[in-house]
């Protein structure tokens, strides 16, 4: 993502046009900053990040099971 595109993305998520899908998502509780962060990554990087998060969450789930 070029610096200009990034700046435009930040502008769009900070002040989404009224009535837009971005405004609706923000209102719904979607963290739009995470979307821009992800769009700066390649598809491979996004999937690697997900694998890492899923593995971590699975470890936390297992730890939670042991607490019960």
Partner 1 sequence: MVAADFEKILTLFEEARVEFVVIGGVAMVAHGSAQATFDLDLCYRRSQENIERLCLALAPYHPALRNAPKNLPFRFDGSTVKNDLNFTLSTDLGDLDLLGEVAGLGFYEEVVEFSQTGEVSGKQCRILSLEGLIRAKRAAGRPRDLAALPELEALIELREKLAEN
The residue ranges that bind partner 1 (CB under 8 A) are: 4-5, 8-9, 12-13, 20-22, 24-26, 28, 30-32, 34-39, 42-44, 46-51, 53-55, 57-59, 62
Asked if 22 and 12 touch (Cβ cutoff 8 Å), the reply is yes
Torsion angle (degrees, nearest 10) of CA 39, 2, 21, 11? 120
What is the smallest separation between the CB atom of 51 and partner 1, expressed in angstroms? 5
What is the smallest separation between the CB atom of 59 and partner 1, expressed in angstroms? 7
Closer of 4 and 68 to partner 1 (Cβ): 4
Q: Helix count (H) and strand count (E) of the chain?
A: 4, 0
């Amino acid at each position: 993502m070029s610096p200009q595109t990034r700046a435009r993305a930040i502008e769009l998520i900070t002040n989404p046009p009224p009535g837009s899908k971005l405004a609706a998502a923000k209102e719904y509780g979607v963290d739009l900053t995470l979307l821009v962060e992800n769009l700066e990554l390649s598809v491979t990087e996004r999937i690697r990040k997900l694998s890492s998060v899923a593995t971590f969450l699975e470890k936390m789930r297992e730890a939670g099971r042991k607490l019960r």
